[in-house]
Structure 1
Amino acid sequence: MSSPSATLAVWSSAWLSGAAAADDVLDALQDWAEFHEVVAADERLASTLEIPVRGTAGGSPAAMLAALRRSGAVTAELVMPVPGDVRGLGGAGQFAAHALRVGEAVVLNGLGAVPEKLGKKVDTGIIRWTVYEVERLMPTPNVPIGEAEHELTGAMRVAAGMLIELGVAKQRAGVREELQARIAERTGASWPAGMPQRALRVLQRAAEVAAILELAMEDEPGGALSASAAHKRAEALRPLFHAVRVARCAAVAEAVRALDVSDAH
């Protein structure tokens, strides 16, 4: 599992190409939250897509799929922007600002959808998808999946070393079991038939690295790092977070391509 946007990008692409049913997409989204609601960013788009406008009670994710079909969307792209890297957002605007704040979005031809978690716990809360009209962008060039996998493998070794260097194992009892539980929680997603094995492997490895990084970023129980130490730690881990983002985007792009090709044949 990587993000709600990754799930929607892969499953909606499979559905749009005829390789999955709409109910399959809706079931997959429930890996992230039991309830999802959908709103349009403005009244004109709400009228066009026939979904509620932002600020009102949200519509169902099924309504979003119907809106995607009516809009002529044929494929999807995962974008995971961070400050300094906003590729795939099409410049400044409400969509770009919202996606940057949340850290993820899906671009579907002329539409962009940003998921936002409401409530403290994902599994008991709601994810609200806000749909924006965006320019029909060319797909963002992704790092080839082989290169992304290679970088991620190196990041895995470095991240594991960071846990030792930071003394996380000494500071937290049962850290190995905690890490395994986090990884299991993040890799339980379902994917469409025809999902390429390499993409699955990269998503799995990305989840493992992300779990290690999250653990390394947390303060030890009963204590807190100084501001300077916390900054140094964040700077040291930043390239590893970048490797995870790049790998997830590359894996999703590979999956979308494979699903489109399998349907075409």
Structure 2
Amino acid sequence: MDMRAEVWSPLQHTAVWLGAWLHGHETTDDLLQALRDLGGRHELIDGRPLTDLLAQLRSVADVEGEDPVLRLVLSGPGEAPALPAGSDAAQKAARNGVGAITVKDNDLISSHVLVPDLAGPLTRWEWFTFTDPLPASAWLSPGEADRLLAEATRQAADIIERSGYRTDALNTPRLTVGALSDFYDTPGLPSAVPGRAAKLFARADRVAAIVETVTARIGDHTLDPQLLSLWRHIRAARMAGVAYAVADFGRAI
């Protein structure tokens, strides 16, 4: 199992950059550079260039509404993506290991789902449109998501401590965790990202780095039941942070 794929989300940064661009906080040039840093070369699944996807996104996105125009959709073991059940979009978002981005249409009837397929240095996007409402999201505030993630982390730590688990490798994990935290934050977020969302992303990154340090870098899987229970809260934090950031971009216009 690819641990990093379960705890890191390059699509989180992609969704935030797209939201900042749609609301006029980032230039197209800066957006394109960020997307290259995140996923190499981008194109639509039919071979059309990324600029066609951006033009289509600009034409349909409801940037005037109160709800966030973009949302991040993540899934993992035991948790299906919040997309129409059985749809191609849901199946592909569950298989690709990175999730999907939903887009609220300005016609107030349609919704769109962008599903990336990462193939080495190439990211290929598939665009799906739905006229029925998409499944409701968790609607967590940044504060609620942060609290749940912090509580889950404390509970996992308590369970590990009560188990009497000891290893020399965990005595000095700070350098490894710090390096991984830096990795998760690359290539950075738009300058307009609100502080509450940035804090939530930072906590999710740090918990993700700890999980990866213990399970993948140290190579000890005896703690998997305790650590893997954090995955769901890491995903929830990332989705809540994206929704809050994108909504804030609209309020800041």
User: Is the pair's TM-score, using the shorter chain for normalization, greater than 0.5?
Assistant: yes
Matching of residue 261 in structure 1 with residue 251 in structure 2:
yes
2:150 paired residue among 148, 153, 165: 153
Segments of structure 1 that go 5 or more residues without pairing to the other structure are 40-51, 53-57, 120-124
In angstroms, what is the RMSD of aligned CA positions?
A: 2.8
State which of 130, 133, 146 in structure 1 corresponds to 2:129. 133
1:98–1:170: structure 2 CA closer, same or farther, 3 Å change rule?
A: same
2:115·2:125 contact (CA, 8 Å) conserved in 1?
A: yes
Q: Whole-Å Cα distance in 1 between the matches of residues 176 and 158 of structure 2?
A: 17
| 2:112–2:127 Cα contact (<8 Å) kept | yes
Distance 2:40 2:130 in 1: 28
> Which residue number corresponds to residue 3 of structure 2?
none
Question: In 2, Cα distance between the equivalents of 1:144 and 1:127?
Answer: 30
Cα drift, residue 2 of structure 1: 5.0
- 1:186-201 mapped onto 2 (5 Å cutoff): 186-201=184-199
Instruction: Give the CA deviation at 1:28.
Output: 1.9
1:208 counterpart letter in structure 2: R
CA deviations on 1:239-261 (whole Å, 9 max, x unpaired) are 31111111111111110110011
Greater CA drift, 150-159 or 209-218? 150-159
Unaligned runs of 5+ in 2: 1-6, 64-68, 105-110
For 1:63 and 1:73, the matched residues in 2 are separated by: 18
Distance of 1:13 and 1:200 partners within structure 2 = 15
Counterparts of 2:211 and 2:228, CA distance in 1: 9
Distance in 2 (alpha carbons) for counterparts of 1:235 and 1:206? 18
Instruction: Please give the residue correspondences for 1:173-184 in structure 2 after superposition, counting only pairs within 5 Å.
Output: 175-184=173-182
Tell me if 1:111 matches 2:112.
Answer: yes
- Residue 29 of structure 2 aligns with which residue? 23
Q: Would you say how many aligned residue pairs link Structure 1 and Structure 2?
A: 232
> Which stretch has the larger CA shift, 234-243 or 173-182?
173-182
Kept in 2, the 8 Å contact 1:36–1:60? The answer is yes
Task: Using the TM superposition, give the Cα deviation of residue 103 of structure 1 relative to its aligned residue in structure 2, in angstroms.
Answer: 4.3
Aligned residue in 1 for 2:140: 143
User: % of aligned pairs identical?
Assistant: 29
The structure 1 residue matched to 2:12, chosen from 6, 23, 47, is 6
- Going from structure 1 to structure 2, the CA distance change for 1:113 and 1:59 (only over 3 Å counts) comes to same
Task: Give the 5 Å matches for 1:1-265.
Answer: 3-39=9-45, 52=46, 58-74=47-63, 75-86=69-80, 88-101=82-95, 102-109=97-104, 110-119=111-120, 125-135=121-131, 137=133, 140-158=137-155, 167=166, 170-171=168-169, 175-218=173-216, 220=218, 229=222, 233-263=223-253
Deviates more, 1:158-167 or 1:170-179: 158-167
CA 197–172 in structure 1, closer or farther in 2 if over 3 Å, else same:
closer
Q: How many Å separate the matches in 2 of 1:33 and 1:9?
A: 12
Q: Which has the bigger relative contact order, CA under 8 A and spacing at least 6?
A: 2
The one-letter code sitting in structure 2 at the alignment partner of 1:132 is F
Equivalent-residue separation in structure 2 for 1:205 and 1:106 (angstroms) = 22
> 1:201 offset after TM fit, Å?
0.6
SS in 2 for 1:32: helix
Match of 2:4 in 1: none
Secondary structure at the aligned position of 1:29 is classed as: helix
Q: Is the 8 A contact 1:2 1:248 kept in 2?
A: no
Task: Give the conservation status (yes or no) of the 8 Å contact 2:177–2:209.
Answer: yes
How far residue 87 of structure 1 moved from its aligned partner, in angstroms, is 5.2
Distance 2:211 2:194 in 1: 26
Greater alpha carbon shift after TM alignment, 126-135 vs 236-245: 126-135
State the Cα deviation string for residues 21-45 of structure 1 (Å, max 9, x = none).
2222222223323322321xxxxxx
